[in-house]
Structure 1
Amino acid sequence: MSILRLSGVTREAGPLVILDAIDVAIAVGDRIGLVGPNGAGKTTLLRIAAGLDEPDRGHVTRKRGLTLGMLAQEAHLDERFMAAQDLRTAVRHGAAHLERMAEELATLEAAGRVTEPHYAELQHAFEVHGGYTLDQRVDATLSGLGFSPNDIVRPPAALSGGEQTRAALARLVIADPDLLLLDEPTNHLDLGALEWLEEHLRRRAGSLVVASHDRAFLDATVTRVWELRDRRLTLFRGDYTAYHRQREERDALAVRSADSHQQQVARERELVQTYRSHRKITKMHEHEARLERLEAQAVEAPKARRRLRLPGTALAGGGPSRSGEIVVRADELVIGYLGAPGNGAEPEAGAVAGPVVVARAPFLAARRGERIGIVGPNGAGKTTLLRTIAGEMPPLDGGVSFGSGVQIGYLAQLRAAAIPGATVLDALIELIPVTPGQGRAYLARFLFRGDDVLKEVRLLSGGERSRLELALLGITPSNLMLLDEPTNHLDVGAREAIEAFLAESPATILVVSHDRRFLETICERLWVVDASLVAPFDG
């Protein structure tokens, strides 16, 4: 039974068609992954399904009484949430219906009406809907999504943007609507929170539609896939791996069919010319009719998708030099801040300014050509470790040393950092003196083509910003690459391009990532940051 149906849904932005005659339905218990390249219209489709936007043509039908919740990529929290005294209270408000029932039960009890049938019915409904376990579920959800006991007593307004998005997700988990729409829910989750969310979504009885580029997450949570491609929606059965296999098979079959069709057309044209030259008019007309029928079929191969093509050599010329055997080494390293972390928060009353230790690393070493993943919970110190190795932060104690001939390339996680230059092309030319033609040719490898290079940097999407950061990283040669969440905001095609590039690169790579498929493909071993300690882990 369908709980939501889209019929002929079309959405346009000026002359651009984003969604074209989408016909699809969601049934009770469906767990659907929504995939497609950046800019394909996934967020637009979710917003139309949620009723936040209206289609230009077509209509959306929802089951009477359907409860629906949506998590946007960046949370836009309502006033009630932000006005709550603490995070726990704000998340608990997700179960507002249970809170109203509890208030009514308390009112009936205060009035001595506990023997009335209405009280018994209300109490039964409260119990069935989990009212008596609400507080335990709130605490378990906050803990599962990576909030510490100190976090849950903070007011929501004091949270960072990523923390607010996680808090919005926690509130949706507690609300438990009939249909849950999630737009890139894994962006701000560490590995522990990812696994908790996967388990929750698998056990959940309600319907789910999740747009995500996290392949491992989709494999763990969905049983059907909707692919948004060239403005149309195609349905597949199975998880992401099954979808990918089916898509490759369909594309290969379509290419073979198109090739065969073109060969038949060419053959019929050849026969028409042959019979015309031999003045065999009857045969000529027979093959002209066949040719007309074949051309009317218009069998087309799937359009080649724009793919990220990372250059093998730096824009400044040449590849990196060969480094020493030991590329980077840390001995008795202590990482942290010389003062309070620069998060904009006011220091607590009575707090003493001084070094803030984040983690200790007794011994770390990376050999030439090793690819090492840096993993651990949010806030454990992964970025601090990478910034210390990059020289952006001084060590509090101990030291970091480098082998001979090391050339560092550093991709920071903070995509909001200022990039010089008003446009994408300006940002490149500001860092290296190249002609506009050379700059355009280089940026085309990162999918900035034509007028894309004239886009203002401040208006770039998250995926476009990540691609620009990668382009700027490749300007100069590097044999030690420090990458902090390099796949953030990138679609699957771009992630696979980065994986292929890094797998073939001779550089030593230290990478912070929560993308498990990326880590499994690239990394040979790990540095684990947890409980204020950094330790190597082989395997």
Structure 2
Amino acid sequence: MELLTVKDLSIELEGKPLLESISFSIRTGECTAMIGENGIGKTTLLKAIFGIIPIDEGEVHHSSNLNLGWMEQNPVYTESETVTEFVEQENNSLRGLKIRLQEYEKKLPAQAMGYSMILQQYMDAGGFEWEAKVERNLLEARIPKELWGQPFASLSGGQKTRVQLARVLMNDPEFLVLDEPTNHLDDESLQWLQDWMLKFKGTILFISHDRAFIDAVADSTMELTPTSIMKVNGGYTSFIKQKELDRQTQTALYEKQEQERKNLEETIRKYRQWFAIAHQSAGERNPFAKKRAMKNITRAQSKEKALGKLESERVEKPKDKKGINLAFEHSEMVAKRLISVEHASFSYPNGPGLFNRLSFEVKKEDRIAVIGKNGSGKTTLLKLLIGELMPETGEIKRHPKLKVGYFAQEVEKLNENHSLLDSLLDIPQMTQTDARTLLACFLFRKEDVHKTIKNLSMGEKCRLAFIRLYLSQADLLVLDEPTNYLDLPSRETIDDALESYPGAVVIVSHDAYLLKKMANRILAIEDGNVHDFKDTFQAYHEWKKESERSMEDKELEGFKKQLALRYTQLIHLEENDPDKNKQILQQLKDINNELAKLEEKGY
């Protein structure tokens, strides 16, 4: 059953068309990811669909009493607003009654009559049940009670997302709209959100640039362009496969039509040539020869009609995916070992120790992903590697000829007054043709190359910084969240660039899709310890799951032994009191039930 249907929707902004002829539908219970380039109009489309802004043309059909929950990308709140108050804002009427009740409480007993009246209104409106629901939602969102009275503004990105969900769920929505819910989340919060969305019983439409997350939760994925929307069953990987299949099919049809067009044009040319020769040689006294010559022009006209029909049904030539095919020189680092960390320890002043006697090497062939919770020290480790921070004890040795490119520094070094093109022409031996080609590979096309850097978005600055870093002839790229602020096409471009990069890479990123493609070694930071896992990101997660499963198995085996021991102890108990014997029998039954459940699970 279709819960939402959009047909031929068009939107204008400031008199200019933003979206035209957009049509799609979403089924009840479906979880749909919406993707598209930054600025294409994804959030604007959602606002138009649900009546927040007007549509210029088209139709939107959904139930008139649709219970909608909307989680905004940038919620509005005051600096002093507590976590509980933020959630309560979902129902301003009850929130207002609660505030009035609290004001009357301060004036008791003088205002006892007014207090009683407001209290009755609050109770009739279900105020105390509503307060209990606020607490229940916060607990289910795993927000500790000690944070409920803290300012919402002070929370981490992951905590804010959980609190926003707790607020949205106050009205028990059947349709959830989530605008970039994965922004600024660490791995733990991402996993929590993923599990939560998979368990949600209603319908979800969400915008995201996180490819691995989309793969994990989406039943369908749709890409928005200015004039169309393409929807595919499955996550991002399924979408990319289908899009490539469609491109190949369109290419084959285009090539077939091009061959037919050439054949028709050649046939028309020949028929007209034969007509001209036959007509010239027929003469006025040979009508039969003239008539036979006219057959050629009739055949030519027939083929011209066929050509006209072919042109009217012509398939556009698919755009080839731009690859990074320029050959730039990189320094030839002969040494295999680039950096050696020997018993290094580090802590910030008045802070806990982040690393204690840390030892590992960075080698020429390494593609290292540094992972861990937010605040675990990932960025600190990168700064230690490049020499921006120094260890308190131990030593970090770098090869004397090592050239390091650090992404964060490259962003900071951009000259705000230069254009995109000027920024690349500063690089030695860079020609204007090569600069334009490379900018196009990174999605800066045509007149975009003349944009001034100070007028670029953060995502555009990150793309430019990455280009400069890529061309820096560095032996080692050190990347701290290089895909933050980037849309999906930009992330795909970064993927391709890193895949073809000849040097070593150390990267911190929450982009699991990127790490799965490029990492061949993992440095996992946990509680000050660094686990060096010499395999892929996928292999690490499989090992991690198996380790957690093994730990759970051990705990359950221990629990089973405790139950068996308690069972033995209860059997040998002898009581003269019948009531105590009944209690013992009940305990034995309970233990038997628990043991049966464990046996069902294979323990």
**Bin of the TM-score, shorter chain as denominator length:** 0.7 to 0.9
Q: Aligned pair in 2 of structure 1 residues 335, 432: CA closer, same or farther (>3 Å)?
A: farther
Looking at structure 2, the residues matched to 232 and 407 of structure 1 have their Cα atoms a distance apart, in angstroms, of 46
Looking at structure 2, the residues matched to 298 and 152 of structure 1 have their Cα atoms a distance apart, in angstroms, of 62
What is residue 300 of structure 1 aligned with on the other side?
A: 316
Q: Aligned pair in 2 of structure 1 residues 272, 60: CA closer, same or farther (>3 Å)?
A: same
Instruction: Note if contact 2:158-2:186 (Cα within 8 Å) is conserved in structure 1.
Output: no
Helix, strand or coil: the match of 1:503? helix
What is residue 207 of structure 1 aligned with on the other side?
A: 203
Which deviates more from structure 2 when the two are superposed, residues 219-228 or residues 359-368?
359-368
Helix, strand or coil: the match of 1:278? helix
Counterpart residue type for residue 12 of structure 2: E
Looking at structure 2, the residues matched to 3 and 97 of structure 1 have their Cα atoms a distance apart, in angstroms, of 29
Helix, strand or coil: the match of 2:340? strand
Looking at structure 2, the residues matched to 359 and 153 of structure 1 have their Cα atoms a distance apart, in angstroms, of 33
Instruction: Note if contact 1:138-1:174 (Cα within 8 Å) is conserved in structure 2.
Output: no
Helix, strand or coil: the match of 1:83? coil
Q: Between the two structures, name the one with larger relative contact order (CA 8 Å, sep ≥ 6).
A: 1
After superposition, what is the alpha-carbon deviation per residue over 1:163-211, rounded to whole angstroms, capped at 9, x for unaligned?
7567545544566533322233222111111111111111112221112
After superposition, what is the alpha-carbon deviation per residue over 1:366-416, rounded to whole angstroms, capped at 9, x for unaligned?
22211110001111111111122222233333332113421101112996x
Aligned pairs for 1:129-140 within 5 A: 132=132, 134-140=134-140
Aligned pairs for 1:98-497 within 5 A: 132=132, 134-143=134-143, 154-158=150-154, 168=164, 171-172=167-168, 177-279=173-275, 280-304=296-320, 307=322, 309=324, 311-313=326-328, 318-338=329-349, 354=350, 357-360=353-356, 362-412=358-408, 417=412, 419-422=414-417, 423-428=419-424, 439-497=435-493
Q: Aligned pair in 2 of structure 1 residues 282, 420: CA closer, same or farther (>3 Å)?
A: closer
Helix, strand or coil: the match of 2:38? coil
Residue 99 of structure 2 corresponds to residue 83 of structure 1: no
Please state how far the C-alpha of 1:155 moved relative to its aligned partner: 1.7
Counterpart residue type for residue 467 of structure 2: A
Q: Aligned pair in 2 of structure 1 residues 210, 87: CA closer, same or farther (>3 Å)?
A: same
Larger Rg: 2
Which deviates more from structure 2 when the two are superposed, residues 163-172 or residues 176-185?
163-172
- The alignment's TM-score, normalised by the length of structure 1, stands at 0.81
- The alignment's TM-score, normalised by the length of structure 2, stands at 0.73
Q: Aligned pair in 2 of structure 1 residues 382, 14: CA closer, same or farther (>3 Å)?
A: same
Looking at structure 2, the residues matched to 385 and 141 of structure 1 have their Cα atoms a distance apart, in angstroms, of 31
Please state how far the C-alpha of 1:30 moved relative to its aligned partner: 2.3
Instruction: Note if contact 1:12-1:18 (Cα within 8 Å) is conserved in structure 2.
Output: yes
What is residue 539 of structure 2 aligned with on the other side?
A: none
Looking at structure 2, the residues matched to 537 and 97 of structure 1 have their Cα atoms a distance apart, in angstroms, of 54
Helix, strand or coil: the match of 1:534? strand
Instruction: Note if contact 2:137-2:166 (Cα within 8 Å) is conserved in structure 1.
Output: no
Helix, strand or coil: the match of 1:501? helix
After superposition, what is the alpha-carbon deviation per residue over 1:212-270, rounded to whole angstroms, capped at 9, x for unaligned?
22221111111122222352112222222222222221111111111111211211111
Looking at structure 2, the residues matched to 308 and 16 of structure 1 have their Cα atoms a distance apart, in angstroms, of 32
Please state how far the C-alpha of 1:489 moved relative to its aligned partner: 2.6
Instruction: Note if contact 2:340-2:397 (Cα within 8 Å) is conserved in structure 1.
Output: yes
Instruction: Note if contact 1:93-1:99 (Cα within 8 Å) is conserved in structure 2.
Output: yes
Give aligned pairs, total.
Answer: 502
What is residue 289 of structure 2 aligned with on the other side?
A: none
Looking at structure 1, the residues matched to 345 and 313 of structure 2 have their Cα atoms a distance apart, in angstroms, of 69
Please state how far the C-alpha of 1:59 moved relative to its aligned partner: 4.8
Residue 538 of structure 2 corresponds to residue 529 of structure 1: no
Q: Aligned pair in 2 of structure 1 residues 72, 136: CA closer, same or farther (>3 Å)?
A: closer
Q: Aligned pair in 2 of structure 1 residues 309, 330: CA closer, same or farther (>3 Å)?
A: same
Q: Aligned pair in 2 of structure 1 residues 458, 499: CA closer, same or farther (>3 Å)?
A: same
What is residue 31 of structure 1 aligned with on the other side?
A: 31
Gaps of 5+ in 1: 339-353
Instruction: Note if contact 1:525-1:537 (Cα within 8 Å) is conserved in structure 2.
Output: yes
Give the CA RMSD over aligned residues: 3.7
Looking at structure 2, the residues matched to 386 and 206 of structure 1 have their Cα atoms a distance apart, in angstroms, of 42
Looking at structure 2, the residues matched to 431 and 88 of structure 1 have their Cα atoms a distance apart, in angstroms, of 54
Please state how far the C-alpha of 1:50 moved relative to its aligned partner: 4.2
What is residue 351 of structure 1 aligned with on the other side?
A: none
Q: Aligned pair in 2 of structure 1 residues 320, 433: CA closer, same or farther (>3 Å)?
A: closer
Looking at structure 1, the residues matched to 171 and 370 of structure 2 have their Cα atoms a distance apart, in angstroms, of 34
Counterpart residue type for residue 176 of structure 2: L
Aligned pairs for 1:44-63 within 5 A: 44-63=44-63
Counterpart residue type for residue 331 of structure 1: E
What is residue 348 of structure 1 aligned with on the other side?
A: none
Instruction: Note if contact 1:92-1:138 (Cα within 8 Å) is conserved in structure 2.
Output: no
Q: Aligned pair in 2 of structure 1 residues 225, 87: CA closer, same or farther (>3 Å)?
A: same
What is residue 559 of structure 2 aligned with on the other side?
A: none
Please state how far the C-alpha of 1:284 moved relative to its aligned partner: 1.7
Looking at structure 2, the residues matched to 171 and 327 of structure 1 have their Cα atoms a distance apart, in angstroms, of 50
Instruction: Note if contact 2:267-2:300 (Cα within 8 Å) is conserved in structure 1.
Output: yes
Looking at structure 1, the residues matched to 357 and 17 of structure 2 have their Cα atoms a distance apart, in angstroms, of 53
Q: Aligned pair in 2 of structure 1 residues 293, 33: CA closer, same or farther (>3 Å)?
A: same
Instruction: Note if contact 1:4-1:61 (Cα within 8 Å) is conserved in structure 2.
Output: yes
Percent pairwise identity? 30
Looking at structure 2, the residues matched to 149 and 535 of structure 1 have their Cα atoms a distance apart, in angstroms, of 33
After superposition, what is the alpha-carbon deviation per residue over 1:308-344, rounded to whole angstroms, capped at 9, x for unaligned?
637552xxxx312215222112223233434xxxxxx
Looking at structure 2, the residues matched to 184 and 389 of structure 1 have their Cα atoms a distance apart, in angstroms, of 32
Helix, strand or coil: the match of 2:341? strand
After superposition, what is the alpha-carbon deviation per residue over 1:411-432, rounded to whole angstroms, capped at 9, x for unaligned?
12996x4732323345456676
Q: Aligned pair in 2 of structure 1 residues 150, 77: CA closer, same or farther (>3 Å)?
A: same
Please state how far the C-alpha of 1:153 moved relative to its aligned partner: 5.1
**Structure 1 or 2: more helix by fraction:** 2
Looking at structure 2, the residues matched to 463 and 277 of structure 1 have their Cα atoms a distance apart, in angstroms, of 59
Helix, strand or coil: the match of 2:141? helix
Helix, strand or coil: the match of 1:53? coil
Q: Aligned pair in 2 of structure 1 residues 332, 490: CA closer, same or farther (>3 Å)?
A: same
Instruction: Note if contact 1:50-1:70 (Cα within 8 Å) is conserved in structure 2.
Output: no
Gaps of 5+ in 2: 106-114, 276-295, 536-603
Instruction: Note if contact 1:372-1:509 (Cα within 8 Å) is conserved in structure 2.
Output: yes
Helix, strand or coil: the match of 2:53? coil
